[in-house]
Amino acid sequence: MKRLVLLFAVIVAVMPLVSARAQDDHAALKAKAASGDAAAQVKLGMTYALGVPRDSREAMKWFKMAAEQGYADGQYKLGGMYDAGIRPPDPAEAAKWYTLAAKQGYKDAQYRLAVLYDQGRGVSRDYAEAAKWYEKAAEQGRPEAQYRLGEMYEKGQGPQQSYTDAMKWYLMAAQQGRPEAQYKVGYLYERGLGVQKSKTAAIAWYQKSSQQGFPDAQDALKALEEE
């Protein structure tokens, strides 16, 4: 009991020191951001975007300062706020800032920009343009982009239909553990589309997907095992 009392006393004594340190750190970050440091501006913006309570307006103010300096992370974060961080969203403004970051090679902005073109949000729907940006993000390892690009090649939605290219991108996403991509790799192996038909390989990929709870893979695996 004495130990618990002592521990509580220590915690109570330390809490004001921790709070003061946090305030000092925030003040230092704000001063650095105010001096024009773009990375600090983004970091400060994130404290407001993720804070409790959340302050979207203050977050966007600092993101915009960084974005207007040409800082890709700031452009992406500002686009993200317009896309999903405010109500109602402003996808056209999101597309503007995502484009600026995407053109600097920022893979997450490339992916989000592709999604806007894919869905026709804030821009006219354009599958070819979506595929272009998905591919740029996919080449940098973004698994969601790899999977969607695989779908587009499988369906001929944007790029010319190609099971070989569909398999290429599905496999990349599957190797990063995406269950929906693992299912698609299994599906193409089962039917011999874009790859030599292989029941063994199909089962192996269905199992990987099924182990992550993907229902289509569980159904496909059950059907193959019952043959």
**What is the band of 15 on the pLDDT scale with cuts at 50, 70, 90?**
very low
Task: Return mean pLDDT, the chain.
Answer: 93
Q: How far apart are CA 115 and CA 107, in angstroms?
A: 12
Is residue 165 within 8 A of residue 145, CB to CB? The reply is no
Domains and CATH numbers, the chain: 32-140 (1.25.40.10), 142-227 (1.25.40.10)
pLDDT for res 17: 39
Q: What is the mean pLDDT of residues 73-94?
A: 97
* Contacts for 138-145: CB closer than 8 Å, 24+ residues apart: 138/169, 138/172, 140/105, 140/107, 140/110, 141/107, 141/176, 142/107, 142/108, 142/110, 142/111, 143/172, 143/173, 143/176, 143/177, 143/178, 143/181, 144/111, 144/173, 144/178, 145/107, 145/110, 145/111, 145/114
**What is the band of 227 on the pLDDT scale with cuts at 50, 70, 90?**
confident
pLDDT tens-digit map of 117-153: 999 999 999 999 999 999 999 999 999 999 999 999 9
pLDDT for res 226: 84
**What is the band of 87 on the pLDDT scale with cuts at 50, 70, 90?**
very high
**What is the band of 214 on the pLDDT scale with cuts at 50, 70, 90?**
very high
Q: What is the mean pLDDT of residues 163-173?
A: 98
pLDDT for res 7: 43
What does 51-78 look like in DSSP terms, one character per residue? SSS--HHHHHHHHHHHHTTT-HHHHHHH
pLDDT for res 26: 92
16 pLDDT above the threshold of 70: no
pLDDT for res 4: 53
* Among candidate residues 67, 17, 59, 61, the one with its CA nearest the CA of residue 39: 67
Helix (H) or strand (E) holding 157: none
Q: What is the mean pLDDT of residues 25-40?
A: 97
pTM: 0.88
**Other beta carbons less than 10 A from residue 121's beta carbon:** 15
pLDDT for res 225: 83
Is residue 67 within 8 A of residue 75, CB to CB? The reply is yes
pLDDT tens-digit map of 105-115: 999 999 999 99
Q: What is the mean pLDDT of residues 35-50?
A: 98
- Residue 72: both structure tokens together: 């890709």
